[in-house]
Amino acid sequence: MLNAIWPAFIIISFIYALVSGNIEQTSNGIFESSASAVELTITFFGTICLWNGIINIAKQTSLMTKLTKLLQPIIRFLFPELKNNQKAKEEISMNIVANLLGLGNAATPLGLKAMETMQEDNKNKDTLTNSMAMFIVLNTASLQLIPTNVMAIRSSLGSNAPSNIILQVWIATVIAAIVGITATKILMKRF
């Protein structure tokens, strides 16, 4: 998709700049943009490496399994059709916990494994089951306790309080998740 959008942005902008007379500013901006990408990457090294280190500790303790157990009632409500598929339920809860902890890199492989486990019981192999649909929608809702990347950007850009967005992010995420879950529960009966 970016293969179409990226050149379109550049072509439209440069032609508009040529016509409107903003060409000098646009020309200078070309090299400024690569310089600011370098600056941002350097500050990212600090914040992103720091969080990866902390989260790696969480990953290797029993914190993950404890949180997974806490999720059981929610899993039962969201995936009633997986009643007897203990393996799928386990993989799904581990994926959700990894997402909550901001472990995107760990969440994706776990999620893909859960999809494969659910596919084993799927009668129409080319169509998503209700449980799979719910699981994907949950994963697109970005349930996250600590929005580490955003905080990293904010502190790189000189924010006075990079973490001042956490509560707002929680509320917005929960609202998005509720809308996604409700839409899925309604739509799965019709389509």
Partner 1 sequence: MQIVNYLSASAIPIIILIIIFYGIKEKKKIFDIFLEGAKEGIKIVINLFPTLIGIFLAVGALRNSGILDFIINLISPITNLLKIPSQILPLAMLRPISGSASMGVAVDIMQKYGTDTTIGMITSVIMGSTETTFYTIAIYTACIKVKKIRFVLLAALLADLAGMIASVIICQVLS
Q: Which of residues 94-113 bind partner 1 (CB under 8 A)?
A: 105, 108, 111-112
By beta-carbon proximity to partner 1, the closer residue of 76 and 179 is: 179
Shortest distance, CB of residue 81 to partner 1, whole angstroms? 14
Residue 107 in tokens = 């969440």
By beta-carbon proximity to partner 1, the closer residue of 25 and 72 is: 25
Backbone angles phi, psi at 167, to 5 degrees: -60, -45
List the interface residues with partner 1, window 127-186 (CB under 8 A): 127-128, 132-133, 135-137, 139-142, 144-147, 149-150, 153-154, 157-169, 171-173, 175-180, 183-184
Contact by Cβ (8 Å): 150, 128 = no
48 binds partner 1 per the rule CB under 8 A: yes
Count the Cβ atoms, other than its own, within 10 Å of residue 122.
14
Site string for partner 1, 1-20 (x = CB under 8 A): xx--xx--xx-xxx-xx--x
The one-letter amino acid code at 26 reads: T
Residue 22 in tokens = 């903003």
Count the Cβ atoms, other than its own, within 10 Å of residue 18.
11
188 binds partner 1 per the rule CB under 8 A: yes
